[in-house]
Amino acid sequence: MANFLAQFLSIKNSCERVVIAVEDVSDLWPHVKKGFEERLPIRRAALNNKTRNPVSVENLPAEFILTTDTRLRSRFPQEQFLFSFREPYATVILVACEDLDEFKTILKPRLKLILQNDEREWFIVYVSRALPQNDQATKMAKKVYARIEVDFSSKKRERCCKLDIHAPEATFWDDLESKITECIKNTLDRRIQFYEEEIRKLSEQRFKPVWSFCNFFILKESLAFMFEIAHLHEDSLREYDELELCYLETVNMAGKLRDFGGMENGDDQAALLTPGKKPLTQIVQDDSFREFEFRQYLFACQAKLLFKLNRPFEVASRGFSFVISFSKALALHEVWHSYQCPFSMLFGNSVGLS
């Protein structure tokens, strides 16, 4: 799994929003794209955090991407498995049909095929192209939509909504947002469960020779990053806190000499608020990371989340504790003497505390 580190970092750097896939069965996307995208970000989403408690998230960043887009295609199963945080959280299936026979013989079988053995969270948007003054076409559209509801919705879950393209009802957009949010919530719940289970399996091997912190890191930060994408910043911060504790336990384990780091050009400048100052691929060491750079990376990730949570004073408080403990590590590894000024001063300047 450690071989996926570079790919993981690349994906993470290019993934900023929740992806909503669009399955455009009837070539409708060019006609509805503007209206759909005007409803982003999602105004209010009721999601579950890691402890399955509901959290109200406002202005959730999201983007619609066609299923034919190269960003959603040509992925190996192992990539989808490992990097599921970047896969679509909802799939909107756009359909149009003006004839019951056409629905029964063409559209319905096609939808069944699309949804066969599909674990995606999906719903259908039926787009009526009937003009308001055309009573016959309007009645037929209602009949077709009624059949779609019967065949694809159930008492447990309503999976259909109807958009009149020439005169959309105001309630449609609320219905659309509600269904998208429901899909995102269900997908997020499943993915949290998946990552937790994989992390648990790796955690059970921590004191065995096969243990690899790098593998653990990819899974743990994938979960943290997924929470961050979903604006569940408290949960994301908690994952980084746990990741830090696990890392410190790993580096303090006896039996393996490691390069501490801190002797390269530019290392005399603190990177406590810049997670990407030095790519993690440059500090990989066997099955882990060099302590000098990685501990700063973790603090920078934590600080970024604390700022998003509007808790700058906690950044300062944590920073003070970090500088003290990190200074001891620098002295222990005889790195301190190579710096021209105290590390604490560099930190203070970087956050405007001194």
Interval 55-94: pLDDT, tens: 999 999 999 999 999 888 756 666 666 788 989 999 999 9
| pLDDT tens track for 43-56 | 999 999 999 999 99
| pLDDT tens track for 184-205 | 999 999 999 999 999 999 999 8
Q: Is there a cis peptide before residue 61, judged by omega within 30 degrees of 0?
A: no
The model carries a pTM of: 0.90
Length of the chain: 354
CB contact at 8 A, 331 and 260 = no
The single residue listed with the structure tokens 């997924």 is: 226
The pLDDT-based confidence of 162 (bands split at 50, 70, 90) is very high
Supply the Cα-derived Rg of the chain in whole angstroms: 25
Nearest one of 274, 314, 268 to 292, comparing CA atoms:
268
Domains present along the chain, CATH in parentheses: 19-185 (3.40.50), 213-351 (no CATH)
Q: What is the pLDDT of residue 274?
A: 76
The pLDDT-based confidence of 1 (bands split at 50, 70, 90) is low
| pLDDT tens track for 257-315 | 667 777 677 666 666 777 777 888 888 877 788 888 899 999 999 999 999 999 999 99
38: which DSSP letter?
Answer: T
How far is it, in rounded angstroms, from Cα 299 to Cα 290? 14
Q: What is the pLDDT of residue 339?
A: 47
